[in-house]
A and B are shown apart, each in its own frame.
Chain A
Amino acid sequence: MRINSLAFLLAATLNACATQVTPWERGHLAKPHMSMEPNRLEASIRKHIHTSKEASSGGYGSGGGGCGCN
């Protein structure tokens, strides 16, 4: 029930800011370079390197799998 209320509030809030886009108007959004991660493996190794050379991790939603990277 609380989740439904939250979803309703969220939808109402976002509706106040977004323009309705019907499915047949989403040609631009469906282009490969409009996906959040167009080059998946390349992005994954770059993020893996950044995580092993910097103190920050998380936020990008990558799965698990730790390493003892030096």
Chain B
Amino acid sequence: MVRAAAVVAAIKSNKCINALSAAALALPGMVPKANAAAPAETASTDFLYSRYRECCNRIDVDAYQASAIVPLGDRSELTFNWVTDVVSGSSPVLNIPESRAEVMSGASGGNARVTLSNDRESTTEEPVEVLSSATIRDLRNALDIKGRYFFDHTDLALGVAVSNERDYRSYSANIGAQSEFNQKMTTLAVNLAYTSDEIEPIDRSIQENKRSVNTSLGITQIWDKASLSTVNFEYIYSSDFLSNPYKKVFVEDGGNQLAGLESTGDADVFFEERPDRRHQYALVADYVRYFPEWDAALHLDYRFHADSWDIKSHTFEASWHQPMAAGWMLTPRVRYYSQNQADFYRPFFRAPRSDGFYSSDYRLSGFGAISAGLTLSKQFFDKLRIEVSFEYYQHKAEFKLGGDTQSDFADFSYSLVTAGIRYEF
């Protein structure tokens, strides 16, 4: 009641920002994406081919996506999404101190391969990345199906998703609702999803499970004839096996046994161990504005993310959607990302930790990433649309907000090229 009174007081004083802040504080929960809802008028289908290439002979992925939206009568629609990923290459699995690195020449791909030396000396120097020795070859197939039913001002959605890899299976179900009010100027959306994953790594005799619950609440607001924005809150709770079964850690003087860790067989090297609970919070704010003088649209996004592993991140994205003559559209975009490291992350460990959690996965390190891309599309009549896009992404420790916290040993980059076609019946 006190918070509600604060909102009313702010409205009375007509201080827009204060009123919004007070309303945000009054919201009882967290959630995802609010979009103005209406059933599709005609069926449509999309195909997209993507070619992902990571630098330095690491991971390559060819991804094939197909999607269809099928209206069923006046009040419902079905959406199908299919993805096939063909993955090959090598991935970093371990960091070792420079003095323990033994460089093997003549490895495939022309790169020198680093392995662990048995010469155990002082380990106070730079970390060196060790890539997986066997080339990873994997095929991932994923399908999700969603049904939506539209009432006059509200729609309900039910969805299921399944993803299958040789060593990883994921099943999820989700339910969502969104409602328009305030003369359709405001849309409120709530979503709930449950995901159950089975993990069975190919070179370890373990069988693990992971569970996640996602809840989200979003609001989309039309501000005037040319602008709208969305704010989404999402809370994710994950439990059970949250480690990466292939990632290893180097613990100085760990020998072959260390409490709570599974040995890899190499002295001082163990499989990583992460906490079995994780709480994640994400807040996304999007703003879209139309510029009539250029018939163009500006999209601005910001995301703040925090979790119980002590990681905080900021993501900024901007894109400019510029229509041109004869149905062409050019969309340049930029993105900046920065995160600090998880509290149990180290490039390698100089001593055992009291909490028993260890990871040297570069994705849990402190770093920043800058990416930029361009999409070119062409609309033929009202039915057919083709598009191509390119993106270049660079991950660097020194890009982190507030400066570098570690050396550049884990820096990498990737490029992504896509080509797609869309047809509306």
Contact = CB atoms under 8 A, between A and B. Distances in A.
Contact of A56 (B188, B220, B305, B416): B305
Given A28-B292, A55-B311, A61-B218, A7 B32 contact: no
Interface string B89-113: 0010000000000000000000000
A70 B342 contact: no
B395 interface: yes
B46 A41 contact: yes
A31 B333 CA distance: 19
A65 B144 contact: yes
Contacts, number: 249
Contacts of B11: 12-13, 16
A1 interface: no
B142 A56 contact: no
A67 B170 contact: yes
Contacts of B32: 58-62
Task: State the main secondary structure of chain B at its contact with A.
Answer: strand
Given A56-B315, A58-B281, 8 more contacts: A7-B181, A10-B188, A29-B228, A54-B337, A54-B369, A56-B282, A57-B236, A59-B232
21 contacts: A7-B188, A10-B219, A11-B181, A14-B182, A20-B183, A21-B224, A25-B225, A34-B228, A34-B290, A36-B299, A38-B321, A41-B65, A55-B363, A58-B214, A63-B146, A64-B161, A65-B142, A68-B167, A68-B245, A70-B59, A70-B244
Interface of B: 4, 7-8, 10-11, 14, 16, 19-20, 22-23, 26-28, 32-33, 35, 46, 48, 50, 52, 59, 63, 65, 67, 81, 85, 87, 91, 132, 136, 140, 142, 144, 146, 159, 161-163, 165, 167-168, 170, 172-174, 181-186, 188-189, 191, 193-195, 197, 199, 210, 212, 214, 216, 218-226, 228, 230, 232-236, 244-246, 280-284, 286, 288, 290, 292, 296-297, 299, 303, 305, 307, 309, 311, 313, 315, 321, 323, 329, 331, 337, 339, 342, 363-364, 369, 375, 377, 387, 389, 391, 393, 395, 414, 416, 418, 420
